[in-house]
Chains A and B, each alone.
Chain A
Amino acid sequence: MDRGELLLSRSLLLTGLGTVGAYGCGVESLRRALAAAAPGEELVEVDTAAGFHRAGGARRAFLASRLGPGALREWLAPGEARRMSPPSKLAVAAARMALRAAGREDARCGDVAAGVTVATAFGPSSYSEALLRQILFEGPEATSPFYFTESVANAPAAQIAILCRAQGPSVTLCQREAGALLAVGHAAGEVAAGRMPLALAGTVEEMSPLLHAVLDRYGALARPGVDGGEVARPFDRRRNGFLAAEGATLAVLEPEEPVRARGAVPLARVLAWGNAFDPTAPRTGWGSGAGRLARSLRRSLDRAGVAVEAIDRIVSGASGARGGDRLEAELLRAVWGDRALPPVVAPKAIVGEYGGGFLGAAVLAAGGAPCGRPPGCEEPDPALGIVLSGGAPLPPPACTLVTSLAAGGAAAWLVLGAP
């Protein structure tokens, strides 16, 4: 048996999930948001007082900060929180939720050398901004060592390791919108190869006003309509950008044997993972390499022994980005060829881009949680040929493909099986 076969021979289970976002704190709040499929009060006005935003540009985002300062109190003592940046707080809270859900009552990793893999697209943006203000406008002597320590991209992963006693490899990945799935795939590979008995994997993002404004100036965000509303419309002909989000989602991955031995009920089975790159993509956009990405995706499925026909649900990373959704549609159609696609859901319209809501939604959807079609997606783009599922409730899937393509060329996918 070569090493590649070894990787695929060990059954991996997802045994715990923790999430916090604009939808609330905990998996049940995310589940409710997905079922309702109608972003309402979660979509809040970004603070525009600093004047970063342009006139007529996007103003709203899914902000976890709307939950208020006490929202994480159950998961993070004030004495711990005061030493953390906003993303570190979100990540530690989500990690503790995930460990508790996986049956670790003390929300610690115990004696095993657990690994931590966390993705972030932009790092702790508010602390980086504060630090730059000090250095550039007040002078280097004003630099806060605390801001510096917590401005590094791996601060959330490090805080998780310290507070959850995770002494295995600690890895932070930055690959924009592909990061969340990449992190889970990376951790899955480590657990499958036997290098760690347990892994915490997921993503965290903070959406500061400055970052939001810059994304808008790039033309990435959904523009306000005539009624002032901002709507993400995945695969819809009217799509004009995504809704940004902040939050954190962490999942616990373990090999099957110890999970079954302790009688725990897993959330999902990780059947396959992979990632690829489209070198035709410009630095901040999407390319034209759907065919090559499709070959990579098929290769991942082949290596895992998953037939395309066996996939009965797609949780698409389509976000309402014009170029991104086009490439995603071309990728899916290239993989399925003449065959009809299974039902497709696109939860980024409900939870936003970044912050892990998508990852949490994918895990819940693979376990049979309903994910409705949000308003704003009623006019599928005929050029894309993807119609989001809606209307009648779907039966629980047996095999779910989860995809996420990043601006700049990266792409990642997971295949999750029913537990």
Chain B
Amino acid sequence: MSGFGWGVAPLWEGLCAGRCTIGPFGRFDHRMHRTHVAAEVAAAPEEIAGRPGWHRLSLADRFAVAAAVEGMRQAGLPVPLPQDVEAGVFWGSSTGGMWEAEGFFRDFVGDRRRSRVGDLASHQVNAPGDAVARLVGAGGPVQTVSSACASGALAVGAALEALRAGTVDVALAGGSDSLCQLTYAGFNALRSVSESPCRPFRAGRSGLSIGEGGALLVLEPLERVLARGAQPLAVLAGAGAACDAHHMTAPDPSGQGAAAALEAALRDAGLAPADVDFVNAHGTGTPLNDAAEWNALQRVFGTRAGMVPVTATKALLGHLLGSSGAIEAVATVLCLQHGMLHPVPSAAASAAESVEEAEPAAAVPVALVADQPLPFPAVRAAVSTSLAFGGSNAALVFARWTAASSS
């Protein structure tokens, strides 16, 4: 679920087209806010919105449930799962049902007679993940990670560990967050939001763009997938995390913490930096974040850094906050599956800029995949990075699935 619509098909089509979904939005009156663009998800189509109990779910819950329904269908798994299948849900969310909680708060504080405390039922951060667990009948571990913008990637990493430890047979890992006033005003108060669509790694970039949505990966051990005759989309090869321990909002400019997360993920995957064919960067478009991330990539990839293609999904979808790691994991999987890297638009950049002038100009330029998708039929592996408030960094390593992967 993203600014492109409800489902994986519109997501992949939009990503390949390099179409930016960041623009004017109507979720709330933003005339008094500092900026006026975001990537909003349109109302759900009737076949999704007609589900029983849909109206009782928060937006973040709806993104989660819709992603779970689609993911389970694509994986060929029944909903609910049989009770003898140990299923776990690992979810990332920054604010859960905050959009709806704002309405409750306005009423409760302003005019108590209008507020209904029952409306708060799905406003907790753990509500979307719990809703997925209830939908699929999961009886195994269910845990919601709320580590700001690294939540989704950390949740996917936790799912991988649960699968390896054998505590679950099937893991549903993902994240969801909805556009709300609290995050929109909060990031604006930090002067982190761009007045125009974000431009990750571009010279003159001026901040992030807020988005919303949800995404989910269905993860299973390879033997189980093959035994039931299903076709894997990709291999989740490794996960890693580390903390800057530097500042609440500013990243460590050296990129040391982000590099440590990336190195841990590669170690976990048993891969070397030379095995990585592209990076789906966190790439928020803020001056500090992109510079620190680029330093991290240079630490890990060394002299090869400028030759590794980099894409940045946020340039098209905005920043999905706690869900960004999840939807960027999905985008990475789609790129691997199709042997094609999605581009970022350069149209948003000023006419004077070009890919070659991408930051940092003084060192090696970032090899951004610009405007046109990059065919890469021999792509082997990719990393997706997530860098959060408080210096919480996470990285995921995905490998392309081929028949040879099973050996």
Q: Are B186 and A116 in contact (CB under 8 A)?
A: no
Please indicate the chain B residues that have their CB under 8 angstroms from the CB of A143 in the complex.
Answer: 185-186, 188-189
Measured CB to CB, the closest approach of chain B to A246, in angstroms, equals 17
Which residue of A is nearest B93, CB measured? A174
Q: Are A158 and B106 in contact (CB under 8 A)?
A: no
A35 on the B face (CB < 8 A): no
Q: Are A159 and B32 in contact (CB under 8 A)?
A: no
Cα of A143 to Cα of B109 in the assembled complex, Å:
18
**CB neighbors of B among A99-131 (8 A):** 113, 116, 120-123, 128-129, 131
The digit string for B81-117, where 1 denotes a CB below 8 A from any CB of A, is 0010000110001101000001001101110100001
Query: What are some 15 contacts across the A-B interface (CB < 8 A)?
Result: A3-B164, A140-B185, A143-B188, A144-B189, A154-B392, A161-B392, A162-B390, A166-B245, A167-B244, A168-B243, A174-B93, A214-B117, A274-B141, A276-B141, A283-B121
A288 on the B face (CB < 8 A): no
Residue total for A at the interface (Cβ-Cβ under 8 A) = 81
Which residue of B is nearest A292, CB measured? B139
9 nearest A-B residue pairs (beta carbon): A158-B390, A148-B186, A169-B241, A153-B146, A170-B243, A277-B142, A143-B189, A4-B166, A174-B125
Q: Which of A158, A182, A186, A408 contacts B389 (CB 8 A)?
A: A158
Please indicate the chain B residues that have their CB under 8 angstroms from the CB of A121 in the complex.
Answer: 124
B34 on the A face (CB < 8 A): yes
Beyond A283-B127, A408-B130, A410-B130, whether A152 also contacts B389 by CB under 8 A is yes
Q: Are B389 and A278 in contact (CB under 8 A)?
A: no
Q: Which of A133, A165, A275, A283 contacts B245 (CB 8 A)?
A: A165
Q: Are A410 and B146 in contact (CB under 8 A)?
A: no
Please indicate the chain B residues that have their CB under 8 angstroms from the CB of A135 in the complex.
Answer: 102, 181-182, 185
Cα of A131 to Cα of B89 in the assembled complex, Å:
31
Q: Which of A141, A149, A165, A174 contacts B32 (CB 8 A)?
A: A141
Q: Are A140 and B133 in contact (CB under 8 A)?
A: no
Measured CB to CB, the closest approach of chain B to A407, in angstroms, equals 10
Measured CB to CB, the closest approach of chain B to A139, in angstroms, equals 5
Q: Which of A140, A218, A284 contacts B188 (CB 8 A)?
A: A140
Measured CB to CB, the closest approach of chain A to B302, in angstroms, equals 22
**CB neighbors of B among A23-68 (8 A):** 51-52
Please indicate the chain B residues that have their CB under 8 angstroms from the CB of A303 in the complex.
Answer: 166-167
Q: Are A153 and B143 in contact (CB under 8 A)?
A: no
A279 on the B face (CB < 8 A): yes
**CB neighbors of B among A1-26 (8 A):** 2-4, 7
Most central of B33, B108, B147, B394 by chain A CB within 10 Å: B147
Please indicate the chain B residues that have their CB under 8 angstroms from the CB of A308 in the complex.
Answer: none
Please indicate the chain B residues that have their CB under 8 angstroms from the CB of A83 in the complex.
Answer: 248
Interface residues of B (CB under 8 A from A): 30, 32-34, 80, 83, 88-89, 93-94, 96, 102, 105-106, 108-110, 112, 117, 120-122, 124-127, 130-131, 133-134, 136-148, 154, 158, 161, 164-167, 181-182, 184-190, 241-249, 257, 260, 264, 388-392, 394
Please indicate the chain B residues that have their CB under 8 angstroms from the CB of A151 in the complex.
Answer: 182, 186
A193 on the B face (CB < 8 A): yes
A389 on the B face (CB < 8 A): no
A175 on the B face (CB < 8 A): yes
Please indicate the chain B residues that have their CB under 8 angstroms from the CB of A161 in the complex.
Answer: 243-245, 390-392
Measured CB to CB, the closest approach of chain B to A23, in angstroms, equals 27
Q: Are A157 and B147 in contact (CB under 8 A)?
A: yes
Q: Are A170 and B391 in contact (CB under 8 A)?
A: yes
**CB neighbors of B among A160-210 (8 A):** 161-162, 164-176, 182, 186, 189, 193, 195, 210
Measured CB to CB, the closest approach of chain B to A174, in angstroms, equals 4
Which residue of B is nearest A158, CB measured? B390
Please indicate the chain A residues that have their CB under 8 angstroms from the CB of B161 in the complex.
Answer: 189, 193
Q: Which of A136, A167, A176 contacts B260 (CB 8 A)?
A: A167
Q: Are B390 and A152 in contact (CB under 8 A)?
A: yes
Q: Are A113 and B242 in contact (CB under 8 A)?
A: yes
Measured CB to CB, the closest approach of chain B to A56, in angstroms, equals 16
Q: Are A154 and B146 in contact (CB under 8 A)?
A: yes
Please indicate the chain A residues that have their CB under 8 angstroms from the CB of B131 in the complex.
Answer: 283
A217 on the B face (CB < 8 A): yes
Measured CB to CB, the closest approach of chain A to B187, in angstroms, equals 8
Q: Which of A140, A155, A195, A214 contacts B248 (CB 8 A)?
A: A155
Q: Are A162 and B241 in contact (CB under 8 A)?
A: no
Please indicate the chain B residues that have their CB under 8 angstroms from the CB of A152 in the complex.
Answer: 94, 146, 148, 389-390
Please indicate the chain A residues that have their CB under 8 angstroms from the CB of B138 in the complex.
Answer: 277, 279
Given contacts A161-B392, A168-B243, 18 further A-B contacts (CB under 8 A): A3-B165, A113-B260, A123-B125, A136-B181, A137-B109, A144-B189, A145-B190, A148-B187, A154-B146, A161-B391, A162-B245, A174-B93, A175-B126, A214-B117, A276-B141, A279-B139, A303-B167, A410-B143
A289 on the B face (CB < 8 A): yes
Cα of A157 to Cα of B189 in the assembled complex, Å:
22
Beyond A140-B33, A140-B181, whether A2 also contacts B166 by CB under 8 A is yes
Please indicate the chain B residues that have their CB under 8 angstroms from the CB of A140 in the complex.
Answer: 30, 32-34, 181, 184-185, 188
Please indicate the chain B residues that have their CB under 8 angstroms from the CB of A408 in the complex.
Answer: 124, 126-127, 130
Measured CB to CB, the closest approach of chain B to A125, in angstroms, equals 11
Cα of A131 to Cα of B102 in the assembled complex, Å:
11
A409 on the B face (CB < 8 A): yes
Q: Are B32 and A170 in contact (CB under 8 A)?
A: no
A306 on the B face (CB < 8 A): no
Q: Are B148 and A132 in contact (CB under 8 A)?
A: no
Cα of A4 to Cα of B164 in the assembled complex, Å:
7
Cα of A52 to Cα of B134 in the assembled complex, Å:
32
Q: Are A289 and B139 in contact (CB under 8 A)?
A: yes
Q: Are B242 and A168 in contact (CB under 8 A)?
A: yes
Please indicate the chain A residues that have their CB under 8 angstroms from the CB of B130 in the complex.
Answer: 277, 283, 408-410
Q: Are B245 and A186 in contact (CB under 8 A)?
A: no
Please indicate the chain B residues that have their CB under 8 angstroms from the CB of A2 in the complex.
Answer: 166
Which residue of A is nearest B243, CB measured? A170
Cα of A175 to Cα of B144 in the assembled complex, Å:
6
Q: Which of B126, B140, B154, B241 contacts A296 (CB 8 A)?
A: B140
Most central of B108, B110, B144, B164 by chain A CB within 10 Å: B144
Cα of A162 to Cα of B243 in the assembled complex, Å:
9
Please indicate the chain B residues that have their CB under 8 angstroms from the CB of A129 in the complex.
Answer: 105
Q: Are B125 and A169 in contact (CB under 8 A)?
A: no
Cα of A141 to Cα of B121 in the assembled complex, Å:
30
Measured CB to CB, the closest approach of chain A to B349, in angstroms, equals 28
Q: Are A149 and B248 in contact (CB under 8 A)?
A: yes
Which residue of B is nearest A7, CB measured? B165
Cα of A48 to Cα of B248 in the assembled complex, Å:
32
Measured CB to CB, the closest approach of chain B to A169, in angstroms, equals 4
Q: Are B243 and A166 in contact (CB under 8 A)?
A: yes
The digit string for A259-281, where 1 denotes a CB below 8 A from any CB of B, is 00000000000000011111101
Cα of A326 to Cα of B194 in the assembled complex, Å:
52
Please indicate the chain A residues that have their CB under 8 angstroms from the CB of B140 in the complex.
Answer: 276-277, 296
Cα of A132 to Cα of B125 in the assembled complex, Å:
16
Q: Which of B112, B141, B245, B394 contacts A277 (CB 8 A)?
A: B141
Q: Are A167 and B126 in contact (CB under 8 A)?
A: no
Q: Which of A158, A176, A281 contacts B391 (CB 8 A)?
A: A158
